[in-house]
Amino acid sequence: MAFKIVRNDITKMNTEAIVNTANEQAAVSTGCDIAVYNAAGYEELLQYRRTKIGAVPEGEVFITPGFKLPAKYIIHAVSPKYLGGNAGEEEKLRSCYRKSLLLAKAQGIRSIAFPLIATGSFGYPKEEGLRIAVDEINAFLLDNEMTIFLVVFDDRSKTLGKRIYSKLEEYIDHNYVENKSSAEYGNFRPDMGMAHAAQGMSVPQMSSPQMNAPQMSSPQMSAPQMNRKASAAKPGLLGSVFGKHKEKSTGRFYAEDVPADSFEASEEVDFESVHESRLEERMKHISDTFSQYLMYLIQDRKMENSEVYKRAIVDKKIFSKIKNNPDYHPQKLTALCLCVGARLNLDESKDLLARAGYALSPCDKTDIIFSYFIENEIYDMIELDIQLEEHGLPCIIS
């Protein structure tokens, strides 16, 4: 048995069956539905639906031949329209996945591809729709053998994937390859040391992918001087796990944001007076545990707990344990996902992870990919999971 999230056109999936997001009436809707009809043979499939199926209520499923598709069968799941979440949409959406899988099993189907049902033109929130899909697919696979794909192919995913891939490769090469070499062979480079200094960190001496929390070194130059050197050391990159990065919520002033001839003016800005209240508030939480600091960050952002764990694709029961037990020690991947779910910047993520005894390692590709997504404010667990899969790493969701 297997479950994977992939980026592909569902009409091109070479599985025994694909699932379509169908309409209640014998009519074709937008999005996935019309794409499936066009690929299968619009008139032929529509005629089959009208003469042999007819109207079907939301949450129910039916099966048709695949016609011109590579798949032998199409399982049509009549998707619920999202009306705010209090009209029984969740149970109907769960029913779509559950009954599609049971119908596939009854037909002897061994491989099937799902879209992210109802999250397009039907309006279901993407993160919540994904959580439901993962719940139902994993529950089915506990007692059944089947190869299941969750296919992501909306315009945003295609655009984001193309934009991310080349920059992510560059980011991995710069951070993982060089730091792995340094860790294994000791060929430390001056520019790597400069990047560490720019973050106020000592050079890591790593013997395993999981490092201890970074230790702060005594600064040898003023903050504006460090920022100028960091900016010069790493031109052209979106950023580095140890290099410069944009921080929209920390109030730091960076060289690229201020003209060179205005540094004296920027140095006159009193950081503590401008940000005194936020700094004092942060200082109150300096001894917080992972749980306490996470709850503070969520509250500070005026976010709902449910918003965070849903975006992070973290089980509600696990999140409740973290919330209700100040000394709860989450697994590292759970902690990383919560950094994404809470939309933390890179410094906040490092701080939160350190409170659970973790650090982002430049010798671990999973950590590097998480760092890239967090640093570039791409808080999308589906895309992150796809990138892990495409880089041959264990996935988080699937």
* Cα–Cα dist 339/374, whole Å: 8
What letter does residue 119 receive in the DSSP assignment?
A: S
Q: Quick one: 194 exposed, middle or buried, by C-beta within 10 A (0-12, 13-18, 19+)?
A: middle
Residue 280 CA to its chain's centroid (Å) = 32
Question: Known catalytic residue: 288?
Answer: no
B/e letters for 244-276, b = 16+ CB within 10 Å, e = fewer, are bbbeeeeebebbeebeeeebeeeeeeeeeeebe
Which H or E run contains 32? helix 32-40
Give the residue from 121, 111, 124 showing the smallest Cα distance to 151: 111
Helix (H, G, I), strand (E, B) or coil at 335: helix
Name which of 213, 186, 188, 187 is nearest 201 in CA terms.
213
Nearest Cα residue to 53 out of 27, 87, 16: 27
Residue with tokens 């041959």: 392
Edge-first strand order for the sheet with 2-7 is 2-7, 147-152, 111-115, 17-22, 73-78, 61-65
Which amino acid would we find at residue 326?
A: P
Length in residues, the chain:
398
Within 142-284, residue ranges assigned H as helices are: 155-172, 178-185, 190-198, 223-233, 263-267, 271-274, 276-283
Of 33, 288, 364, 385, the active-site residue reads 33
* CB-count exposure of residue 358 (10 Å: 0-12, 13-18, 19+): buried
- The residues annotated with a catalytic role in the active site are 33
